[in-house]
Amino acid sequence: MKKKTVKFSSASTTFYFDTSFDLLEDLTGTVKTVIITDENVFRTNQRKFKGWNTIVLKPGEEYKVQRTVDSIIEQLIAFGVDRKSFLVGVGGGVITDLTGYVAGIYLRGVKFGFVPTSVLAMVDAAIGGKNGIDVGVYKNMVGVIRQPKFLLYDYSFLKSLPKPEWINGFAEIIKHACIKDASMFKLLEQSKLINFQNDKHLLDRIIQKNALLKSRVVQEDEFETGNRKLLNFGHTFGHAIENTYALPHGHAVAIGMVVACLISESYKKFRQTDNVVAVIRKYGLPAYHSFDAAKVLAVMGSDKKKVNDVINYVMLERIGKAVVSPVSMDEISGLMIQLENKRS
């Protein structure tokens, strides 16, 4: 086990890497704790939940909505949860987002911690304190920024994680390497997904690197006025095609990263698109998707991250060094029309 405490502006989060779920008993005790999880995680890891008060939700993004928040709150009241209680989200990003949000609003705030069980939650969603829900088609439209007291990493949960979810998580790992860590990018080039699935030490190494990388970026810019934007690498275009073409998030981000690389070629003289494409493919992700420029532009134009007529696009100067560059909607529109016709 490795323990590390990260200080944010108003609270600290302690990371317990490579540990066992049993540690939860020492951290919160069973009496004043309610676990929130989903049916998939509960069904495949039932033994772990013995003896804990547990709320089991239906799995899926479509349940990350106010209706679910209301039903959780009703159950918390029934459990008699008070200001001294602990909420613990045990699951993927949907569960950690919901748990963090409920913990932020129930009784104006109760203590909470996470046990992330998907790769994506371990390296991304559970970290940084953004916790929210969707409203209609608007993702993460409502929420709070509040840091969990702890993150407990028990990699044995990943034994039941379906392979497509491993792949989705690796899209964010590749993203982190691209924006901040050339040596991690090398490690990804030299390895394969199966190596991480079979070798706990290698897995622990990459999970820790990513969790701490995201923590550092957030620490420097908790309320997203600057560098936290770098984490949007691949996500501007990614979000614009994700819903339109019903793509898994990781696939959309992978395609978005390649588009961002191509844009970086024009604006930043970036020269390593081929390396990024090769790693994306190696981890089972797609590098291209045909798209309708008009549709993509319509979504980009309505993005909540757009300011006036400018999109702050995350580009790469080189692998491991990302920058945010403002690009006008006119220029974006020219680029999209060019890319629409450039298929490979």
Ligand X SMILES: NC(=O)c1ccc[n+]([C@@H]2O[C@H](COP(=O)([O-])OP(=O)(O)OC[C@H]3O[C@@H](n4cnc5c(N)ncnc54)[C@H](O)[C@@H]3O)[C@@H](O)[C@H]2O)c1
| Residues found near ligand X in the complex (CB under 6 A) | 38, 40-41, 44, 59-61, 64, 91-95, 97, 117-118, 120-121, 124-125, 128, 130-131, 139-140, 157-158, 160-161, 165, 168
Residue sitting closest to ligand X (CB): 93
* φ, ψ at 108 (rounded to 5°): 60, 25
Residue whose CB is less far from ligand X, 68 or 85? 68
Answer for the pair 274, 292: CB distance below 8 angstroms, yes or no. no
Shortest Å, Cβ 139 to ligand X: 6
Shortest Å, Cβ 312 to ligand X: 18
Residue type, 285: L
Shortest Å, Cβ 305 to ligand X: 14
Shortest Å, Cβ 190 to ligand X: 26
Shortest Å, Cβ 314 to ligand X: 15
Strand 150-152 vs strand 12-17: parallel, antiparallel, or unpaired?
parallel
- State the Cα torsion 206-207-210-211 to the nearest 10°: -160
Residue type, 98: L
Residue whose CB is less far from ligand X, 18 or 340? 18
Segment (H or E) for 334: helix 329-341
Residue whose CB is less far from ligand X, 91 or 234? 91
Tokens 């939940």: give the residue: 49
Tokens 């810019």: give the residue: 221
Shortest Å, Cβ 32 to ligand X: 25
Q: What is the DSSP string of 141-195?
A: EEEEE---SEEE--GGGGGGS-HHHHHHHHHHHHHHHHHH-HHHHHHHHH--HHH
Residue whose CB is less far from ligand X, 92 or 238? 92
Segment (H or E) for 281: helix 273-282
| Cα distance between residue 163 and residue 145, in whole Å | 31
Shortest Å, Cβ 200 to ligand X: 15
User: Residue 303 is encoded by which pair of tokens?
Assistant: 């993005």
Residue whose CB is less far from ligand X, 34 or 41? 41
Residue whose CB is less far from ligand X, 130 or 336? 130
Residue whose CB is less far from ligand X, 154 or 181? 154
